[in-house]
Amino acid sequence: MSAPLLSLSGISRHFGALKAVDDVSIDVPTGARHALIGPNGAGKSTLFRLVTGSMPVSSGTVTLGGSDITRLPEFRRARRGISQTLQHSSLFLSQTVQQNVLLAAQRQYGTRHAIVPREQAAARERARALLADVGLEGRAGTPVSALSHGERRQLEVAVALACQPRLLLLDEPAAGMSPAESARLVELLKSLPESVTVVIVEHDLEVVFALATSVTVLHLGRVLLTGSPDEVRASAAVQEAYLGTGRGSLFLDMAEPAHLEVS
């Protein structure tokens, strides 16, 4: 295994008495497809916020590519190659699909400071290719406010990829997608080059086990287990965590559309 791209050591985040993330340590190697699963309220989204810097840690350190980024503001971390999709779509509603992707792409092409409109040919071409990849090729000129929920999720992925991330954090990207759309997403994520390291939070375990090379299970803010998909499936402790929340069926009947439970 190569050196970890992302290394979390003992990070915690408290909300008053609630320990949403409690002393979590995870190493994600470069090129990994790492899944983060756990029942509702386990702290998965909060953990992502600590990695992206949209929320400060209470304690612990976050290391990216060997350098400590715990004190860096969010936009600086993003420039070091962290990109994300959020659990609840966060897009630019008054703008078109293409403009949404361009905002992310133009930063990569150094045209963001351009004061006069110049041909953003490279950024536009990249945006067009990404929209085709996620299945929105006919929708470039549509305002985001007119997109369906599933289409917005697809656009989220295109925006996140337009940043050309080293580390891609996906928070329930398939939630609200149709089975066909989520199959397309899995294909797209599988086709990403090794230079992109992916960490995915997903309740749809079909998606998780189709992609993941390693899995971390969070429960009540703590790491229950990190291991290969098979180890996780076999673990009694994991079964119990899910059974405790009445969601044991997730592991017994994987065909069930688990993402319907997420709102």
Ligand X SMILES: Nc1ncnc2c1ncn2[C@@H]1O[C@H](COP(=O)(O)OP(=O)(O)OP(=O)(O)O)[C@@H](O)[C@H]1O
**Beta carbons within 8 Å of 10's beta carbon, 6+ residues apart:** 23, 24, 25, 59, 60, 61
How many helices (H) and strands (E) the chain has is answered by: 10, 10
DSSP SS3 for 10: strand
Name beta bridge partners: 28: 6
The distance of closest approach from Cβ of residue 142 to other proteins in the complex, given in angstroms and rounded to an integer, is 10
According to the binding rule CB under 6 A, does residue 15 interact with ligand X?
A: yes
147-186: contacts with other proteins (CB under 8 A): 159, 161, 163-164
Quick one: the chain helix, strand, coil %, rounded to 5? 40, 25, 35
Phi, psi of 248 (to 5 degrees): -60, -25
The distance of closest approach from Cβ of residue 143 to other proteins in the complex, given in angstroms and rounded to an integer, is 4
Residue 80 structure tokens:
């070091």
Question: Binder to ligand X among 30, 46, 108, 142 (CB under 6 A)?
Answer: 46
According to the binding rule CB under 8 A, does residue 112 interact with other proteins?
A: yes
Which of Mg ion, ligand X, other proteins, none does 239 bind, CB closer than 5 to 8 A by kind?
none
According to the binding rule CB under 6 A, does residue 249 interact with ligand X?
A: no
Distance of alpha carbon 9 from alpha carbon 28, whole angstroms: 11
- Comparing CB distances to Mg ion, the nearer of 45 and 70 is 45
> Do 24 and 42 contact (CB within 8 A), yes or no?
no
Question: Binder to ligand X among 4, 43, 135, 173 (CB under 6 A)?
Answer: 43
Residue 210 structure tokens:
């189709």
Distance of alpha carbon 158 from alpha carbon 145, whole angstroms: 16
69-88: contacts with Mg ion (CB under 5 A): 87
102-141: contacts with Mg ion (CB under 5 A): none
Residues that bind ligand X (CB under 6 A): 15, 18, 20, 38, 40-46, 87
Residues that bind other proteins (CB under 8 A): 52, 54, 73-76, 78-79, 83-84, 86, 90-96, 99, 102-104, 106-107, 111-118, 120, 125-126, 128-133, 137-138, 141, 143, 145-146, 159, 161, 163-164, 187-188, 191-193, 196
Residues that bind Mg ion (CB under 5 A): 45, 87
